[in-house]
Each structure stands twice: as structure tokens, then as C-alpha cells.
Amino acid sequence: MSEDTEIEDLPLEALPLDAWHRAQGARMVPFAGYEMPIQYEGIVAEHNWTRENAGLFDVSHMGQLLLSGPGVDAAVEAVLPIDLATLKVGSQRYSLLLDENGGVLDDLMVSRQADALYLVVNGACKWDDIGHLREHLPDEITLNHLDNRALLALQGPKASAALARHAQGGPDLATLTFMKFANYVLGGHDAWIARAGYTGEDGFEISIPAYAAEEIATLLCGEPEVKPIGLGARDSLRLEAGLPLYGHDLSPETSPIEAGLIFGINKRRRSAGGYPGAERINREIAEGTQRKWVGLKLDGRMPAREGAEVFADDTMVGTVTSGGFSPTLGQPIAMAYVDAAYAANGTELEIAVRGKRLPAAVSPMPFVPHNYYRGS
């Protein structure tokens, strides 16, 4: 699932785990309207720890919403390009909130509970999302913003072993595969646990009462496999995993098709339509787009950051939307929108960084293979 952009010039809110983060030695920075931990012992060390063990991320800044009421499926399908007829209880799905022109207002996760739909939206635009949904959903649909809940992400190859020692009252975690969720008791508290995350690794997103956040974070970090991890490593992990960051790789100026997110528009909806922007999106599916979102691998050690211009010879053909140094690959990587004629894998390009042209080549994404758990 997606991340968030920084909100400037607004009073910063404190996460339920604010004091806990500081006690762990976190360096706090403004992000999405909150003070959030960017690192504890160092981004590269935390990145590598998550790849090899398990990291605990605080993503409580994200919006947790519950939609219920008569006709909720039809109402939500009029707003999102999702096929709820195929979304079973205990399953979740990636989807998109689109404007009337098919531009991306947000990307989000939708989960089917027994009597409601549970949505997780990006923190930086959650208030806009809530306003948009309340405006476009019928009055019969109840929207509850679950601001009394925290959200933690336990990610990495040893996350399951660490969590299994404490998750009780639900199915064996070995039966909980990627994009499935169930109710558990964790540290004596009710928890909604989904096998999902935004690092490319196996892992879980854990929704818990906000008052229990410190107790559960301490419990999980008491396991030898688990350390607290900051936003810096979360960003480098999602970059290696080829996952878009809302506000950077996605915005109202981008369409899902040029961003390669056609999977977020379920098959039935591509033909049936009935959601915002369907006309443009169907046209782009049929005719293609003028630009495409691609991965880039750079030569050398200098990374390209958001906004860097991409060139083919002397012609500017694109712009970097996310970039950084990959600890796993040991080289800089980036994501960019480029003219479709230059989007084929292996295409040699250059990126302007600090007055220099850095050689780069279009690369398949993810840069580092996903390790999602889909069953033994």
C-alpha cells in the first residue's frame, strides 16, 4: 500500500507511540502532519535488518475508515473501480480513488469485514479522502474514521515467527496468506491483522486500539528478531520493491494506466465502467498512454532525486518521481515518468543531477524480488 507526502505549515500531531519512539532513540521529523520517526540507528542498518529479520514500523498516521450501511457495495463501486462481488470476507484488495478525469486522488486498501468495508488511506490526504467519500457516498452509508486505533507494520522474513508467539484467538498464521486478514488477540487486546505491507517483504499490518500501542510495540520489539524501524528505511524498501508513493509517483496529474496500475481496476469494471474517469481509462487501455512510469538503474554511486530531468541525448523525455541509493543492490535506483517511446527495458538514458548527466537504463520493477507469503 501506499505512503504519504509531507504537510507543511500545519500544527504537528503526536502519534500514540510518540513518547515510545523518543525513548527508543528515534530522530523525529515532520511527515504527513505528524512528528514521525525517520530513523533510530541508521537507515541502511534498519533497511538491512528488515530484509534479514523483522522490523516494526509505526504507520498510525494513515487513515483507517469503516464503511457500512444498506447498499454499501454499490455505493463504493460508484466511487472506486473495485469489484466488490469478488471480495470475500477476510480478504483485502488494492484500489484507487479517482477524480472525474481519471487522475489519482489516492491509492488505498479495501478489506471485507463481516458487516462493513475497512479502508486504509494515506495519511497526508486522509482528510481530503474522508471529505470526498462523504460527498460522493449516499446518506445511508455510515463512514466511521477510526481515529482511536493505531496501525503497526511488522515486516521481514522473520515477522511471522515473532508474531506467532503472541497472536492468539485466530487462525494459524501459516494459513493467513498475502492479502488476507483475521481477528486475533495480541497482548490481551483485540487486533485486526492483515498479511500485507509496503516493503516487498513478507509481513503484517496490525490495527489495534491506540491506548494499547505502546504495550504491543514493546511486546513485539521484545522478540530477538524485531527492531523498531523508521520512515527512512521504509522508503528505501518500498523503492526497491517498485511500489509507488502517493504525492510523488501518483497524483491527480497521473492516471492509473500510465502508472502501470491497471490491476487496481478490476476486470469487470474495465468493461462495465460506472466509476469516475472510466472513459479516459478505457481509452488509455485501448490506445496506450503518451508516457509510462518506469524503473531506472543508474551507474556510479550518486542517486537521482525527485524532480531530476531524464534525457535521451539532448531531448528531455521524463522526470524522476522517486529515487535513492539501494542498499540491497549497492547502486542508485529511481522511478520516473518517461515518454512511451523510451520506456522499453534496457533503454539507455541520462539523468541530470547537480549539473552532471548520469547514465541510466530502464529496468524492470521490482528492483528486488517480492517475498510475499502466498502459502507453503
206 within some domain: yes
376 — pLDDT class (breaks 50, 70, 90): confident
Flag whether the pTM goes above 0.85.
yes
Average pLDDT over residues 241-270: 96
Kindly state whether residue 72 falls inside one of the protein's structural domains. Answer: no
Q: Is the pLDDT of residue 8 over 50?
A: no
Are both 163 and 22 inside the same structural domain?
A: yes
Residues 370, 230, single domain; the answer is no
**Same domain (yes/no): 35, 183:** yes
Q: With 50 as the cut, is the pLDDT of residue 2 above it?
A: no
Report if residue 29 sits inside a domain: yes
Tell me which of 202, 225, 240 is where a domain ends.
240
Task: Indicate if 197 and 335 belong to the same structural domain.
Answer: no
Can you tell me whether residue 334 is helix, strand or coil?
strand
Mean pLDDT of 270-281: 95
Q: Which of 240, 266, 298 finishes a domain? A: 240
Q: Determine phi and psi for 169, rounding to 5 degrees.
A: 80, 5
Is the distance from CB of 202 to CB of 371 less than 8 angstroms?
yes
Q: Note the pLDDT tens digit of each residue in 60-74.
A: 999 999 999 999 999
Q: Locate cell 539507455: which residue?
A: 348
Q: Look at residues 370, 229, 345, 368 and name the one whose alpha carbon lies nearest to residue 292.
A: 345
Question: What whole-number percentage of the chain has pLDDT above 90?
Answer: 96
pLDDT at 10 over 70: no
Q: What is the mean pLDDT of residues 4-19?
A: 74
- Cα(343)–Cα(123) distance, rounded to whole angstroms? 31
pLDDT tens digit sequence for 347-363:
999 999 999 999 999 99
Question: Each residue of 84-97: pLDDT tens digit?
Answer: 999 999 999 999 99
115 in any annotated domain: no
Q: Is residue 264 part of a domain?
A: no
Query: Structural domain tally of the chain?
Result: 2
Does residue 3 surpass a pLDDT of 60? no
Residue ranges making up the domain that contains 349: 290-376
Question: Which range has the worst mean pLDDT, 11-15, 52-56, 197-201, 366-370?
Answer: 11-15
CA distance 30 to 183: 32
Residue 45 lies in a domain: yes
Q: Pairing state of beta strands 142-145 and 149-155? A: unpaired
Under a CB-based contact definition with an 8 Å cutoff, are residues 314 and 308 in contact? no
pLDDT of residue 11: 84
> Where among 200, 218, 240 does a domain terminate?
240
Q: Averaged over 269-298, what is the pLDDT?
A: 96
Q: Is the pLDDT assigned to residue 165 strictly greater than 90?
A: yes
Question: What is the per-residue pLDDT for 152?
Answer: 98
Q: Is residue 86 part of a domain?
A: no
Closest CA to 153 of 62, 55, 298: 55
Task: Work out the number of other CB atoms within 10 angstroms of the CB of residue 254.
Answer: 21
CA distances from 133 to 5, 64, 82, 193 (A): 20, 13, 15, 25
Residue 216 lies in a domain: yes
CATH number of the CATH domain containing 198: 3.30.1360.120
Max intra-chain CA distance, the chain: 62
